[in-house]
Amino acid sequence: MKPLIPSLTTLVIAAVGAVAAENPAKDTPPAKSAPAAPAKKPDYVPPTPTLTDVAYGTHTKQVLNFWKADSDKPTPLIFFIHGGGWGAGNRTSGLAGVLPDALKNGISVVSVEYRFISEATADGLVPPVKGPMLDCARALQFVRSKAQEWNLDKTRIGASGGSAGACTSLWLAFHDDLADPKSEDPIARESTRLFCAAVSAPQTTLDPRQMREWTPNSKYGAHAFGIKPDPAKKQPTFDAFVESRDTILPWIKEYSPYELVSGNDPQVGLYFSTPPAIGMDQADPTHSANFGVKLKEHCDENKVPCELVYPGAPDVRHPTTFAFLLDALKGEPRK
C-alpha cells in the first residue's frame, strides 16, 4: 500500500512540535486545526426539462415539466407525482431517484404539479382530496394526448412518487378508467389506466379504521376529507376522523387505494425504509411498511402482481423503484 501523503496541517503540527522539543524553555504550544465545517448536501438540480410549465388545466398549479428521452421510436414514460401530504413539495421533490437513470435508459419523464388540499378546498371541491387526485388524472390524460408530439408510447406509462404522491399513484393504478369516450373534449377521452406503478412509503388506505388496526398510533388522513375536530371535545384530529368514518365511507371507497384493487390492475412495487410490525406503534406511522404488508395481502388475494420491499424483506427482485419501473416498462405487458 502506498504511504498516505501528509496534509499541510499535519506538517505544520510536526514542525511546531520539533521546534518546541529543541527549545523547551519557550514552551511553544502545539498548533491546532479548526474543526471542519460539515459539508452541505447540495440540493438536487434536475436536468433542464425539454418543456417547462406546460399547462394541462386552467389553475396556476395545473402544470407539468417534461423530459424527453433521446430515441428514434416512441418511449415509455414515468409519470411522477411528488409527495408532501398534498400540501407541500413541488415538481423536483424526489425526482433524483428516477430522472437521471430514466433518461439514460430511453424512458421519458413527466413531473406534475397539482392543487393542494387548501387550494382544492378554496375551489369548493368535496372532499378536498378530489383536487390533487383528479388533477393528476387529468394530467395523465393530457400527456397521453401529446403522445405523438412528444414521441411517447401511451400504452407504457408507469407512475411513481413518494408518500401522498405514492398514494395518488396507487389510486390511479387501481381506479377504473376515468376516460369519457363520449366527451367533446379529446383530452377527456384519453385513458387514465397505468401500465405499472412503483412508489415509496405510500399510504395504501385512507380508511381510519384500517389505519388504526394496522398501526395503532396512526395520525394521518383526516385532511384529505376535510375532517376537523370539535373544539368543544378537545379531541385529537385522528379521533374525529375515526368518529366520522361511517359518514364519509362513500368517499373512502372512492379515494382509498385499498378499496379499488381488482384483478385486472397493473403490477405495483411498494418501497419502505423500515420493516413492518403489524398492530404495533411505529416511529413514523404515516410511512409505515404496515401499509405495504396489508396492501400486498389484498393484491395477492386479487391476483394483482405486487412486490413489497423493505429492509430484510423476502423475495426482493427489484431493490429500487427505478429498477422495478425499468423492468416493467421495458418488459412484457400483463396478460
CATH number for the domain including 273? 3.40.50.1820
Please state whether the predicted TM-score (pTM) of the whole model is above 0.75: yes
As to burial, measured by CB atoms within 10 angstroms (0-12 exposed, 13-18 middle, 19+ buried), residue 133 is buried
pLDDT for the residue numbered 35? 53
pLDDT for the residue numbered 335? 60
- Tell me the per-residue pLDDT of 168-187, one tens digit each, with 9 for 90 and over: 999 999 999 999 999 999 99
Q: Supply the DSSP symbol for 225.
A: G
Q: Describe the strand order of the beta sheet including 267-271 as a list of residue ranges.
A: 51-55, 63-67, 108-112, 75-81, 152-162, 196-200, 267-271, 306-309
Classify residue 222: in a domain, yes or no: no
Q: How many residues does the chain have?
A: 335
Helix 130-145 / helix 164-174 crossing angle, nearest 10 deg = 60
pLDDT for the residue numbered 45? 79
CA 254, 174, 263: angle at the middle one, nearest 5?
120
CA 138, 202, 209: angle at the middle one, nearest 5?
105
Contact predicate 288/250, CB 8 Å: no
**Pairing label, strands 63-67, 108-112:** antiparallel
Contact predicate 144/110, CB 8 Å: no
pLDDT for the residue numbered 163? 98
CA atoms of 168 and 153, how far apart (whole Å): 22
Classify residue 220: in a domain, yes or no: no
The number of beta carbons lying within 10 Å of the beta carbon of residue 46 is 16
Nearest to 330 by CA among 140, 97, 158: 158
Nearest to 69 by CA among 152, 154, 145, 148: 152
Tell me, rounded to whole angstroms, the distance of Cα 219 from its chain centroid.
19
Nearest to 202 by CA among 257, 162, 254: 162
- Tell me the per-residue pLDDT of 258-274, one tens digit each, with 9 for 90 and over: 999 999 999 999 999 99
The C-alpha cell at 209 is 379504521
The number of beta carbons lying within 10 Å of the beta carbon of residue 201 is 25
CA atoms of 27 and 23, how far apart (whole Å): 7
Type of residue found at 332: E
For 54, the 3-state DSSP assignment is strand
Nearest to 241 by CA among 208, 202, 200: 208
Classify residue 312: in a domain, yes or no: yes
CA atoms of 115 and 127, how far apart (whole Å): 13
CA atoms of 291 and 251, how far apart (whole Å): 19
Classify residue 306: in a domain, yes or no: yes
Residues with Cβ within 8 Å of 94's Cβ and at least 6 positions away in sequence, in order, are 80, 82, 83, 161, 162, 165, 200
- Cα of first residue to Cα of last residue in the chain, in angstroms, is 57
The C-alpha cell at 49 is 426539462
Contact predicate 67/52, CB 8 Å: no
pLDDT for the residue numbered 325? 98
**pLDDT beneath 70, residues of the chain:** 1-43, 334-335
Number of domains in the chain: 1
The C-alpha cell at 328 is 416493467
Domain that holds residue 318: 51-207+250-329
For 120, the 3-state DSSP assignment is helix
